[in-house]
Amino acid sequence: MSADKAFIDTNVFIYYQRSDDNIKHKISEDVIGFFDCVVSTQVINEICSLLTRKYPTPLSEIKKYITDIIDSSELIIITYSLIEKALALCKQYSISYYDALMVAAALEANCKYLISEDMQDGLVIENKLQILNIYEHTDLLTR
């Protein structure tokens, strides 16, 4: 495991849970095993939503999966102050509210990276947090 803290976006956990894309599954597995992972209640809610709607999964499996994630990650609770921070980040960095909410949670946890597949690769927020499209940066896993 790396000493670096990384906030993990929903899609990474979805690819890890699903094995229909072997390459993304393997990379996601490597990412989750490599970094000191951080998630937020937003990510947990999005995982539950996707696994009940888009990828129908028995509720007992969803519960076990999110319990495993929470047990092995730092969990950031979305608070009003994080919502305020996210709104400011939306304006400052021209990012969507939901992406900004993840960025705010990652900053709160002092993460070095925010790992996603659909945010602006390489963007550095507040000179502290770098957004990485992990499918473009698999070299990080070989450090």
Q: What is the pLDDT of residues 8-17, one digit of tens each?
A: 999 999 998 8
Query: What share of the chain has pLDDT > 70, as a percent?
Result: 94
User: Which residue segment(s) compose the domain that 32 sits in?
Assistant: 5-142
Q: Specify whether the CB–CB gap between 50 and 18 falls below 8 A.
A: no
Closest CA to 11 of 95, 113, 119, 100: 119
Distance CA 44, CA 46 (A): 5
Give the residue-averaged pLDDT of 100-122: 94
Distance CA(129)–CA(62), nearest Å, equals 30
pLDDT, tens digit (0-9, with 9 covering 90-100), for 24-57? 888 888 889 989 999 999 999 999 999 999 989 9
Tell me the CATH number at 115.
3.40.50.1010
pLDDT category at 140 given cuts 50, 70, 90 is low
Identity of the amino acid at 41: T
Structurally, the chain folds into a number of domains equal to: 1
The better pLDDT of the pair 110, 141 is held by 110
Q: Is 122 left (phi over 0), alpha (psi -120 to 50) or beta?
A: left
Instruction: Quote the pTM value.
Output: 0.91
